[in-house]
Structure 1
Amino acid sequence: MITAMDTRKEYYEALVRKDSTYDGIFFAAIKTTGVFCHATCTAKKPKFENCEFYLSAEEALLAGYRPCKRCTPLSFPKSLPDEVSELVAAIEANPNKHWREADFAQLGMTSATARRKFKQIYHMTFVQYARARRMGMAFKEIKSGSKVIEQQLNSGYQSSSGFNDAFTKIMGNPPKKGVVKILYASFISTPIGRMISLSDDSYLYLLEFLDRRGLEKEIEKMRRKYNARIIHGETVITQNLANELALYFKEELTHFTIPIHTEGSAFQEKVWQLLCDIPIGATVNYKDIAIQLGDKNKVRAVGNANGANQLAILIPCHRVINTNGELGGYGGGIARKKYLLDLERRMRAD
C-alpha cells in the first residue's frame, strides 16, 4: 500500500480527473465499496480519506478488495480473454474455494492453461490470484470482526464459542476446547510488499510477506499448535516491530530488539541461531552452516530448516546463498532477497 502522503495526493488527483496516463500505474481501492479501480474509472469519486492506493492488483486483492465491475481494472491494457473472464467470475462466485484439476475440467480447460493465461496478463498465476483473493477476504474479516471479539473478551468470554474467528471459515476448524491463546494479526507496509505479523503481548510468533507461498497452511499449523484464536489488533510488540522495520528499510537500524518465539526441532533451533549470528551485510552458504553443525552432508537439512523459518528478516534466512554463489531460493521471492542483501551491504559499508 502506498503510504507517502504526496504520492497518495498525486494518485487521488489523477483518479478525480480520470487521467488515463495513470492506468496501470496504480490501483485505487475504495474502503466504502470494497472494490479497486483504474484511474479512469467513471464511478462517482470517493473522498480522499476513503482511498488506499496499491501498485499491483495482487496487493489490492490481499488487502481484501475485489475488482470493480465498471472499470474492470484487471483488463488493463486490453480486454480479457474469455477463459480469464470466466475464471475471475468463478472466483468471485466462490472466493473461498481451493481449486483442483477437476474444477478446471468442468470449465473446459486445464490448470496449465489457467496458469499461462493469468501469468501473461497479471504477472501471477491463477493459483496466486485465487489465493490472494481468499487471503484478502480472511484478513478483511479479521479486521472487521476484531471489535466484536474484543468486546466479548472484555466481557469475560474465554471459551472458543465466545469468539468469531475470521480464519475459521478460511483456514480450518476452530481451536479445541480449553485454554485458548489469543494471537494478534497486524499488517505492516514495507518498500518490498506488505507483511503480516502474529504476536501476543510478550513475543512475535510470525512475520511473513503476505504473498508468501504456503502462508495459509503456515498460519493454520500455528493455530493448531497453540490452540489459538487470531484476531486483528496491535500489541506493544507489533508497534515496536513496525518502528524497527521502518528504520531498517531507511538503513538506520542494523539490529532488531523484538523478542521472538520459535518452536522447532533441536536441529532447526540450532540453524536459526546460526542465521542470527550472520553479520549484517554478509552471506554464508548452506554447506558453511552444515559444517558449523558438525556434518557437511546435512546441506539439505539446513535448507529445509531455513525454509521453515517463520520470522522473515528478523531471523535472516535471506543471508544464506548457494555454494556456487548464486542467491538460491527465498520464501519471499528472489527479487526481495536481492533487495535485502543490497540494502544490508550498503549499511555495512557505511
Structure 2
Amino acid sequence: MNLQNAVLPPHAEMVRAMLERDTAYEGVFFTAVKTTGIFCRPGCTARKPKPENVEFFAHADEAMSAGYRACLRCKPLDAAAIAPDWVQRLLKSVDADPDLRWSDAQLLAEGIEPLKLRRWFKQHFGMTFHAWLRSRRLGIALGGIKQGESIDNAAFDSGYESLSGFRDAFQKSFHITPGRAAHSEPLLFTRLTTPLGPMIAMAEQRGLVLLEFLDRPALTKEIEELQNRYGYAVAPGHNGHLQQIEEELAQYFAGKRTEFNVPLHLPGSAFARQVWAELMKIPYGQTTTYGAIAAQLGKPGASRAVGLANGQNRLAIILPCHRVIGADGSLTGYGGGQPRKAFLLRLESAAVQITEQLAF
C-alpha cells in the first residue's frame, strides 16, 4: 500500500472552482486570501477575491502554518471536511453493487469527472479510485477465505478469470498468498477527514491499530511493518472500531471529548508499550517531557529511548504524543508536523478554559 502526499489540481481549475463556489472540491484544497489573511473552503459564500490575491493549500494546517486564519463564515476547521456529495453518492453505489466495474463512461454518466475523481482518491486514500476498487474486492475475497471459502470461489467472485491472476494480485496487495490468508488477521482501513487534513484509521477485531495523518512520512514504513512483522493483511473496509473512532474524533475536534473509549490493540516491544501507557496518562490540556516519562518508568536516563518509542506511536491524538514537549518548554518534533501539534495543544487549552469558565 503506497500512500503519497496530496497533489493539488491545476491552478486554473482551482481558480475556477473558487469563483464558481464549486462544492465538489470540498476537502480537495483550501483557498487563502493574501489581502485578508483568511483561508476558506472552495464553496465559501463570501465575496470572492481577485485570483492574483489567492494561493491554495491541500490541508488546513498548511494554511495555518503560512500565517492564515480560518474564515468565520465557512469554518474550514470544523470537522466538516467530509467527502463531498458526489463522492458519497459514488461510495454508496459501490456498497450497493460491489461487483460493478466502473468505467470512465459510467462515471461520466453519473456526472463524475474521472480525472477529478482520480485526484480526490489520490489525496484522500493514497491510491486511485480504480486501485481502491481492486483493493476493496480483494478485501472481500480475504474475508471469504477467512470464513472458509475456497480460493477458487473467492477468485471468481472477485471478478478474476484466472487463478494465477488472482493469486498475483492478492499477494501484491496483502503480502501473503491466498493459502496463508486463512491464518492472517485482516486489518481494515478507512479514510477519515479532519480539520487538520485526511487521516487513515486501521482496525482489526481486537481494536484500533493505527490512526495517522496521510502525509506522515513514516506512514508507509509503519504499514509495511504491520504487514511484514505482525502478519496483517491490509484491506479497505469498515468495522465497529472504525465507526467509533470516526465519531469520537469528530467530538474531539469539536472540543466535546477529552478521552477516547475506542478499544486499542498496540503491537510493539514491551518497552514501547510501557511508554505508550505513560502517554495515555497525560491529562487532556496538559504537557510533559521525555525526561518526566523516563522518570515515571524508573529509568531517568532513558529520555532518548523514550523519545524513540514516542516516535513509534501509530495512534496519533489517541496516544497523545503531541502533549510531550521539550524540557525548555519548546515544541519538539511531531510526526504530523509542528503546526498540527500546536493546533492540538491550542484546541485542548481552549476547551479547558471554556470548561473552567462554565464552572464558575
Q: Shared topology, TM-score over 0.5? A: yes
AA matched with 2:304 = R
Q: For the Cα contact (< 8 Å) 1:175–1:229, is it kept in 2?
A: no
- The 5 Å alignment of 1:71-82 reads none
Distance in 1 (CA, whole Å) between partners of 2:154 and 2:196 is 37
Match of 1:186 in 2: 190
Distance in 2 (CA, whole Å) between partners of 1:264 and 1:160 is 35
**Distance verdict in 2 for CA 1:175–1:193, change over 3 Å:** farther
Give the unaligned 5+ runs of structure 1.
2-6, 32-45, 65-134
AA matched with 2:322 = H
Q: For the Cα contact (< 8 Å) 2:186–2:234, is it kept in 1?
A: yes
**Distance verdict in 2 for CA 1:159–1:261, change over 3 Å:** farther
**How much is the aligned-residue C-alpha RMSD, in angstroms?**
4.2
AA matched with 1:147 = R
Match of 1:264 in 2: 268
Distance in 1 (CA, whole Å) between partners of 2:307 and 2:194 is 26
Q: Normalising by the residue count of structure 2, what TM-score does the alignment of the two structures yield?
A: 0.60
Q: For the Cα contact (< 8 Å) 1:194–1:210, is it kept in 2?
A: yes
CA drift of 1:314 comes to 0.6
Deviations 1:283-336 (A, max 9, x none): 001111111112221110010010010111111011001111111000111011
Secondary structure of 2:198 counterpart: strand
Q: How many pairs does the alignment contain?
A: 257
Identical pairs, percent: 34
User: Which of 207, 219, 232 pairs up with 1:228?
Assistant: 232
Give the unaligned 5+ runs of structure 2.
1-5, 7-17, 26-41, 44-48, 59-82, 88-107, 156-165, 356-360
CA drift of 1:208 comes to 0.7
Q: RCO higher in 1 or 2 (8 Å CA, sep ≥ 6)? A: 2
User: Which of 281, 286, 289 pairs up with 1:285?
Assistant: 289
**Distance verdict in 2 for CA 1:181–1:152, change over 3 Å:** closer
CA drift of 1:238 comes to 0.5
Match of 1:21 in 2: 51
Secondary structure of 1:63 counterpart: helix
Distance in 1 (CA, whole Å) between partners of 2:19 and 2:310 is 37
CA drift of 1:20 comes to 7.9
AA matched with 1:301 = A
AA matched with 1:225 = R
AA matched with 1:250 = A
Q: For the Cα contact (< 8 Å) 1:197–1:204, is it kept in 2?
A: yes
User: Which of 146, 151, 156 pairs up with 2:136?
Assistant: 146
**Distance verdict in 2 for CA 1:254–1:50, change over 3 Å:** farther
Q: For the Cα contact (< 8 Å) 2:170–2:178, is it kept in 1?
A: no
Distance in 2 (CA, whole Å) between partners of 1:47 and 1:10 is 23
Distance in 2 (CA, whole Å) between partners of 1:153 and 1:246 is 29
Distance in 2 (CA, whole Å) between partners of 1:8 and 1:246 is 29
User: Which of 22, 25, 31 pairs up with 1:11?
Assistant: 22
Match of 1:62 in 2: 123
- The 5 Å alignment of 1:165-176 reads 169=172
User: Which of 325, 334, 337 pairs up with 1:330?
Assistant: 334
Secondary structure of 2:229 counterpart: helix
Secondary structure of 1:251 counterpart: coil
Which has the larger displacement, 334-343 or 263-272? 263-272
Distance in 2 (CA, whole Å) between partners of 1:8 and 1:169 is 43
AA matched with 1:249 = F
Distance in 2 (CA, whole Å) between partners of 1:294 and 1:175 is 46
Deviations 1:68-96 (A, max 9, x none): xxxxxxxxxxxxxxxxxxxxxxxxxxxxx
1:303 aligned onto 2:307: yes
Match of 1:129 in 2: none
